[in-house]
Amino acid sequence: MADMTELILIRHGETDWNRELRFQGHVDVPLNATGHEQARRLAERLAAERLAVDHLVCSDLVRTQQTAAPSLQVLFPQLRIETLTDSSLREQSFGIVDGMRVDDIKAGHADAWNQWLRFEADSGMPGGETTRQFHARVMDAVRRIAQQHAGRKVMVVTHGGVLDMIWRTARGTGLAGPRQSDIPNAGLNRVRIDGDVVEVLDWADVRHLADLPAQPVYDQTKLLVR
């Protein structure tokens, strides 16, 4: 038990591009007003519950840093967010369609879009990462963080795709097929890491966001080519 690491996983708060259902990927998109309020609510909950966290790490993209900043003030006010970033926690790279809306991808890159809809492990957008490459990057980072902080509790602020890779690993669902888990902006997700074993303790807890506007949902199951 001493070597088990608990990760508190947070998807970044809402951005305007979430509202537009754009492929954000590696583009540095800031939070919108709702996203900043979600981040504030998250920090408020951490403070109220006196959640014991030993370390915080986040993706180096601005939307995750802005989400993490209020919680950092609660948990580790002496630290600066710029010193706690890890580029391996970035969202999947979508190559030539990074930053594009679905309708624009359909119009300008129809073949790539149709291939994407198959949700195959070894395919990805042109110039971007395949799901398998993305999964390997994510899980290498997760296991490295778990080893560096063995037996401790680490808050990780990252992206929806990253959380999907962790959820799939924990559930053993494989890399093919559409996303099956709910991954709300600024929700609380908890997993336990023990070597190569990932166990979900809690997922998609949004009680701290209950009275905020409904979140935009990118539902891959409705896009699947059968």
Catalytically active residues are 12, 91
Q: Are strands 55-58 and 153-158 parallel, antiparallel or unpaired?
A: parallel
List own/partner pairs for 208-216 with CB under 8 A and 24 or more apart: 208/41, 208/42, 208/44, 208/45, 209/38, 209/41, 209/184, 212/34, 212/37, 212/38, 212/41, 213/34, 215/14, 215/18, 215/184, 215/185, 216/14, 216/18, 216/19, 216/21
Listed in sequence order, the DSSP H helices in the chain are 16-19, 33-49, 62-75, 102-108, 110-116, 131-148, 160-171
Find out whether 165 and 138 touch, Cβ atoms under 8 Å: yes
End-to-end alpha carbon distance in the chain: 43
Please give the biggest Cα pair distance in the chain: 53
Q: Which residues pair with 5 in a beta bridge?
A: 193
Pick from 195, 141, 191: which is nearest to 168 by CA? 191
The answer to whether the beta carbons of residues 47 and 74 sit under 8 Å apart is yes
